[in-house]
Copies of this chain bind each other. A is one copy, B any other.
Amino acid sequence: MKEFRIGMVGYKFMGKAHSNAYRALPMFFPNSKIKPRMSVICGRDEAGVTQAAKQFGWAEVETDWRKLVEREDIDLIDINAPSNVHKEIALAAARAGKHIFCEKPLALTLADSREMLAAAEKAGIKHMIGFNYRFTPAIQLAKKLVESGRLGELYHFRAWFLQDWIIDPTFPLVWRLQKEIAGSGSHGDLGAHLIDLAHYLVGDMKEVIGMSETFIRERPLASEMTGLTAKGSSDASKGKVTVDDATLFLSRFVSGTMGVFESTRLAAGHRSTNSFEINGSKGSVKFDFERMNELEVYFTDDEEDVQGFRRVLATDPAHAYSEAWWPTGHTIGFEHTFTHEMLELMNAIDEGRQPSPNFYDGVKCQAVLEAVERSVEERRWVSISEM
């Protein structure tokens, strides 16, 4: 087994998820020819990143990503620092000839994303973007049913990503609610995943029109919050929320499929409902990430008296990745999507091809995100081709 040396920038939520995935790979996919080596973890706060290195199992620590990308003993840079620094790191990594795994969104703007893709292509490196949901076994099954034609011509794609973690108006003004750092709110955070799944399962979009809203326009300043509590406090000074709480849009795919998308962080009762449904001429599928091991499947050619959505538990040997884990009926969780993602990264490198999804998919997603934003601003249908 060949080793592939990773240098990772970032060590919070995604840093933890990636670390776990790198660790899991050799144990659960021992036949993979390339094995990630958790070489260096990088973060600005030396104490924090040192603790993370120890906890997550990284061999060394850097506090300056510029030094990291120049190290000769690193093959790939994994970028999961906040979105506003993705671009600079990726450009430097590409210049240094390192392969790149970059968390979504690729960058804060479409222009920046394109610059990153161009740089990666010019450098001839492998590049991947972190649309992890593709790697859910049940979504792999949906993909297979679409590709094999078992759903027929696709008429409808509807998707919604509903959360409620900021429904309390006293929840503080964290950086994810500030446009200059996060770039976007629910649209870029949640909608981006839906858009990528749409691209993956249905294909390219032709045009979109959307609407956006920030319902809770001021929130207590986080700096005045006591401790790390997410519950907030009602007596702190307030600052302005500069990203969307919710964004909805309609879309027409190149194939003619009709699409509708909704992302919100203000849907009471929805912790993380990442859901879609596809209706085709021969069948339908439904998915909800809160029940990520299941796919509901319907076929029009089932016998007349027993037609109905089947609740398929995607843990059988017939389902993607399942044999690597546990016996049929024994479910996996959120984190496993990252392990499958990193497997694709390793396999692509081994096979000398670009991983999928890669920066090209990141750019395509960003184009739709910005087309929607433009459609909101200009109150009109925006063609993806004009982006």
21 A-B pairs with CB atoms under 8 Å apart are: A17-B326, A19-B27, A23-B23, A156-B267, A165-B329, A209-B250, A213-B258, A246-B258, A248-B258, A267-B279, A268-B280, A269-B279, A269-B298, A269-B309, A289-B331, A304-B317, A305-B312, A308-B310, A325-B335, A332-B333, A380-B380
> Which residues of B sit under 8 angstroms from A260, Cβ to Cβ?
248, 260, 262
Q: Is A55 an interface residue (CB 8 A)?
A: yes
> Which residues of B sit under 8 angstroms from A246, Cβ to Cβ?
155-156, 258
Q: Is A353 an interface residue (CB 8 A)?
A: no
Q: Is A86 an interface residue (CB 8 A)?
A: no
Q: Which listed residue (B209, B210, B302, B308) contacts A311, Cβ 8 A?
A: B308
Question: Secondary structure at chain A's binding surface: helix, strand, loop or mixed?
Answer: mixed
Q: Is A5 an interface residue (CB 8 A)?
A: no
Q: Is A297 an interface residue (CB 8 A)?
A: yes
> Which residues of B sit under 8 angstroms from A306, Cβ to Cβ?
141, 145, 297, 299, 310, 312
> Which residues of B sit under 8 angstroms from A305, Cβ to Cβ?
141, 144, 312, 316, 318-319
Q: Is A82 an interface residue (CB 8 A)?
A: no
Q: Report copies per complex.
A: 4
- Interface residues in A243-284 by Cβ distance below 8 A to B read 245-246, 248-250, 252, 256, 258, 260, 262, 264, 266-273, 279-284
> Which residues of B sit under 8 angstroms from A170, Cβ to Cβ?
none
Contact string against B for A residues 190-230, beta-carbon threshold 8 Å, 1 for contact and 0 otherwise: 00000000000000000001110101000000000000000
> Which residues of B sit under 8 angstroms from A248, Cβ to Cβ?
250, 258, 260
What is the interface residue range for chain A against chain B?
A: 35 or more
With the chains together, A299 CA to B310 CA distance in Å? 10
Q: Counting chain B CB atoms within 10 Å of each CB, which of A13, A19, A262, A326 scores highest?
A: A326
- B-binding residues in A (CB < 8 A): 13, 16-17, 19-20, 23-24, 26-27, 30, 51, 54-57, 141, 144-145, 151, 153, 155-156, 158, 160, 162-165, 167-169, 209-211, 213, 215, 245-246, 248-250, 252, 256, 258, 260, 262, 264, 266-273, 279-284, 289-293, 296-300, 302, 304-313, 315-319, 325-336, 379-381
Q: Which listed residue (B256, B283, B291) contacts A213, Cβ 8 A?
A: B256
With the chains together, A210 CA to B209 CA distance in Å? 9
Chain B residue at minimal CB-CB distance from A167 = B300
> Which residues of B sit under 8 angstroms from A292, Cβ to Cβ?
331
With the chains together, A36 CA to B157 CA distance in Å? 46
With the chains together, A268 CA to B299 CA distance in Å? 8
> Which residues of B sit under 8 angstroms from A297, Cβ to Cβ?
306, 308
With the chains together, A169 CA to B165 CA distance in Å? 40
With the chains together, A296 CA to B308 CA distance in Å? 8
* Contact between chains at A330 and B329 (CB < 8 Å): no
With the chains together, A283 CA to B310 CA distance in Å? 13
